[in-house]
Amino acid sequence: MVTEFLINHQQVTKAEPMFVGQTIDVAVDPSKAHSGVVIATADDSRKVAIECLAGGGNVDVFEACAEIHEFFATLLHGSIIRLAGVEDPITKSYDVVNKQGKRVRVNPGMETHENRLKLSAIFTTYMNVLRLMAHHEIMRVNNEAWKKAILPPEFRKREVGKGSNLWLPTIEPGYTGYDDNITDAGCILLYLRQATKAEKVICKRKVEAVELSLCQYSFAVYDYADYHRPVYVYNTMLSFKDNVVYVANRSQGDVSVLELSVHDLPVDILYTDKFRAKKFDSDTFMVLIGGET
């Protein structure tokens, strides 16, 4: 491997699924040498910091990208990604003295083609793997936007340096001792939730496959309503039971919603205590599904 991965400061050589059935938010500060990723459950009961080190002039950027993609595809397997954002690469700028002796700001871009290629490739890898696992658009986060929204003014001053590294541990001690790539990612996470009003965001996902049941579960059919739970869209290519099992496997210890048309509702359900809707003539119903841990 050309990439080194650390989870909560501990080096790992192989990823394992960490959030099966859990709703999570993901924030990434990509870097050509030291990326920071923060993943937190929607209720913040669990949070991990992941550092991805792919530095060094001899590192094959395409090999590093393949390893990053495989690592996060495995780690995020079975999770429900509610929000995800990756900081957009910025053009570096600095001051130079012009022919008139005046100091001016210039934006020459990265110094070499190799550096531009590596950062762009790594940024794209995070965007692609997150979109693959989330099944929805990934937010490209502007550097100045998150800093202005999250960091207090005194921590945005140039002379302060890495403002997130000084400020974030004061409100969340768990970030103490981390590189600024992790604290930047932590601030990006706060920005994602603030910018999207995360408590009201529900991303719909389609049921995708036939699966064996991994837990005991229960369900009931109700009139459709704006119910702030993970929402799945019914797959008409599968049976009603297969749809319910798929959702239950991802709802262990929680409740999720399966959205379906009246045409997909089995007739025999209508005559059981599982049918609790009050309107028989609705076009859309929801199935509340709970899986036991």
State both tokens at 77.
């397997």
- With a CB cutoff of 8 Å and minimum separation 6, the contacts of 177 are 9
What domain range includes position 255?
Answer: 204-291
**Measuring CA to CA, how many Å separate 178 from each of 7, 24, 114, 265?**
11, 21, 27, 51
Q: Is the dihedral of CA 114, 120, 124, 125 positive or negative?
A: positive
What is the predicted pLDDT for the residue at 111? 47
**254 and 233 assigned to the same domain:** yes
Domain termination site, one of 167, 200, 233: 200
How confident is the model over 153-202, as pLDDT tens digits?
888 888 888 899 999 998 888 899 999 999 999 999 999 988 876 544 44
What is the predicted pLDDT for the residue at 223? 87
**245 and 193 assigned to the same domain:** no
State both tokens at 186.
């932590």
**153 and 90 assigned to the same domain:** yes
How confident is the model over 80-94, as pLDDT tens digits?
999 999 999 875 555
Across 249-268, average pLDDT? 87
CA-based radius of gyration for the chain: 23
What are the beta bridge partners of residue 83? 25
Domain termination site, one of 137, 167, 200: 200
What are the beta bridge partners of residue 81? 24
**92 and 192 assigned to the same domain:** yes
**pLDDT of 239 higher than 60:** yes
Most trustworthy range by pLDDT among 143-152, 195-204, 246-255: 143-152
What is the predicted pLDDT for the residue at 229? 66
Strands, DSSP E only, in 2-79?
A: 4-7, 10-12, 23-29, 34-41, 47-53
What is the predicted pLDDT for the residue at 113? 46
Q: What is the distance between the alpha carbons of residues 225 and 44, in angstroms, rounded to a whole number?
A: 26
**142 and 194 assigned to the same domain:** yes
Q: What is the mean pLDDT of the chain?
A: 86
Instruction: Tell me the pLDDT band of 280, cut-offs 50, 70 and 90.
Output: confident
**69 and 94 assigned to the same domain:** yes
> How many domains does the chain contain in total?
2
The length of the chain is: 293
Instruction: Tell me the pairing of strands 217-223 and 204-206.
Output: unpaired
Instruction: Tell me the pairing of strands 284-291 and 254-261.
Output: antiparallel
How confident is the model over 127-147, as pLDDT tens digits?
999 999 998 889 999 998 999
What is the predicted pLDDT for the residue at 162? 87
What is the predicted pLDDT for the residue at 249? 87
More confident residue, 88 or 291: 88
3-state secondary structure of 87: strand
Q: What is the distance between the alpha carbons of residues 216 and 196, in angstroms, rounded to a whole number?
A: 34
**24 and 153 assigned to the same domain:** yes
Q: What is the CATH number of the domain that holds 143?
A: 3.30.420.10
Task: Give percent above pLDDT 70 in the chain.
Answer: 86
- Number of helices and strands in the chain (H, E): 6, 14
Q: From its phi and psi, is residue 272 left (phi > 0), alpha (psi between -120 and 50) or beta? A: beta
Task: Give percent above pLDDT 90 in the chain.
Answer: 51
